[in-house]
Amino acid sequence: MKISVIGAGYVGLVTSACLSLDHEVTCIDVDPRKVAELNAGGCPIYEPRLRETIDKGNIEFTQDLGSLDRSDVIFICVGTPCYKGQCDIRQVLAAADDIYRSTKSSKTVVIKSTVVPGTNDKVLDVLNAGVICHKCVSNPEFLREGSAVEDFLHPDRVVIGARESESYDLLEQVYLWHDCFIHMDVVSAEMAKYACNCALATKISFINEISNLCEVTGANVNKVRKVMGTDPRIGSSFYEQGIGYGGSCFPKDVEALIEHGRWLGCPTPLLESVCDVNDNQYTGCLTKLEKYLWLKDSRVAVWGVSFKPETDDIRHSPAVEIIKELLGSGANVRVHDVVANPNLYAELRSWSKKTGISIATVEYYEETDPCEMTKGSDALVIATAWRQYTKAKVSEIEPQVIVDCRGVLNGREAIKQGKCYACFGNPNNS
């Protein structure tokens, strides 16, 4: 099948690469630098197995819209950022307009971007403004960054929201290696994507609230979670306490559904609380640090910048918030991350221009051994659970103060070695 994918971001690239193993794919992006880098054999994002999958497939990268009219199916995988709390669908509508203007025959257009319920109808209006009658399908994506290729090739489900039975059949031919299809109408598919992300975000805020209570009561959150996990109705996965969820999706999607509910006159107080808990959670790291340290003029080493391991994505990363707070408090900051430092550098430059806060003393480490770069620091903050950090030996960490926001170190060992060790939810209480 001939397939075009509009958008070469995390979702568009992974979709293009994986579908190109069975189909002829053209991946289109408006960003000339991304297209040039991809054509030169590089990859604009860090995502395990992505470039090797691209290299195995039948795929081309272009800015040109010419492939749209030659395609059987067109995927829309552009961004839907949060704008004033709302899901901003302007990129999706612009992509639909590109399809409308560039096609002379009827196409099946698939919205993979996360869009609020009702968007499919709006896209269909744009597509069908002329005489050609296109079809528009909702096929939300559930991949996670860091394991995106694996998730795409082995999903729990492929949701197909459509108006006509031919669209279900066509999409099943696109995903010919899957057998986990769930058919439904378009608005249910749109809603299901938000329901999943909001449920996952709710689990995280819930465990963080319980974890905060563990800290004041002296209870051990690991033991509490173990008990919760013995009840299959509750489960134990996706209940890791810490500095809260970040990334390009949970924060914006929870906020967008709250705002959409407000607009529909159907408030979502539970989700508002999920957001509030999350917005405050990272400050726990600074409170713990300030117990041991006067931040002004202190030297703080931070391990981890990305919002989770195995990605260079720093969008809404709690680690970045902590770094900014440290800089704002007058601390000298040195950071270690496996791949996300270039993104942090760019983000801090524009933040510094806006706030006037100096970033001149920030030091960036990537290849240096993480323990080595802590030398000369007063404290270490562990903000992202990269595998490299979980392997670190406490005896090789120089700073006396350690705030382990992701529970990656052996806390008991750290305390035994006389460190001022803090983490979330008392997991080291016996």
Contact footprint for ligand UGA (CB under 6 A): 114, 141-145, 197, 200, 204, 238-240, 242, 244-247, 249-250, 307-308
Binding mask 71-100 for ligand NAD (x = CB under 6 A): ------xxxx----------x--xx--x--
Query: Environment class of residue 200 by beta-carbon count within 10 Å: exposed (0-12), middle (13-18) or buried (19+)?
Result: middle
Q: Based on CB atoms, which residue is closest to ligand NAD, 84 or 296?
A: 84
Angle at 12 (CA atoms; ends 6, 15), nearest 5 degrees? 115
Q: Which of 126, 394 has the CB closer to ligand NAD?
A: 126
Structural contact between residues 88 and 74, judged by C-beta atoms closer than 8 angstroms: no
Q: Shortest Cβ distance from residue 294 to ligand NAD (Å)?
A: 39
Bridge partners of residue 402, in order along the sequence = 380, 421
Q: Is 260 in the site for ligand NAD (CB under 6 A)?
A: no
CA–CA gap between residue 290 and residue 285 (Å, rounded): 9
Q: Is 31 in the site for ligand NAD (CB under 6 A)?
A: yes
In angstroms, give the least distance from the CB of 372 to ligand UGA. Answer: 25
Site for ligand NAD, residues 107 to 136, rule: CB under 6 A:
113-114
Edge to edge, the sheet with strand 73-76 lists 58-62, 24-28, 2-6, 73-76, 108-111, 135-138, 158-161, 181-184
Q: Does 340 bind ligand NAD (CB under 6 A)?
A: no
**Kindly report the CA angle at 321 between 12 and 418, in degrees rounded to 5?**
120
Q: Is position 146 an interface residue for ligand NAD (rule: CB under 6 A)?
A: no
Closest residue to bound ligand NAD by CB: 9
Residue burial 229-251, b: 16+ Cβ < 10 Å; e: rest: eeeeeeeeeebbbbbbbbbbbbb
Could you list the active site residues? 249
- Which amino acid type is present at position 415? I
**Is the distance from CB of 381 to CB of 406 less than 8 angstroms?**
no
347 binds ligand NAD (CB under 6 A): no
Nearest-approach distance from CB 44 to ligand NAD, in angstroms: 8
Out of ligand UGA, ligand NAD, none, what residue 246 binds, judged by CB under 5 to 8 A for its kind, is ligand UGA
Q: Which of positions 315-334 make contact with ligand NAD (CB under 6 A)?
A: none
Kindly list the residues in this chain that would bind ligand NAD in the complex (CB under 6 A). 6-12, 28-31, 34, 77-80, 91, 94-95, 98, 113-114, 141, 143, 145, 248-249
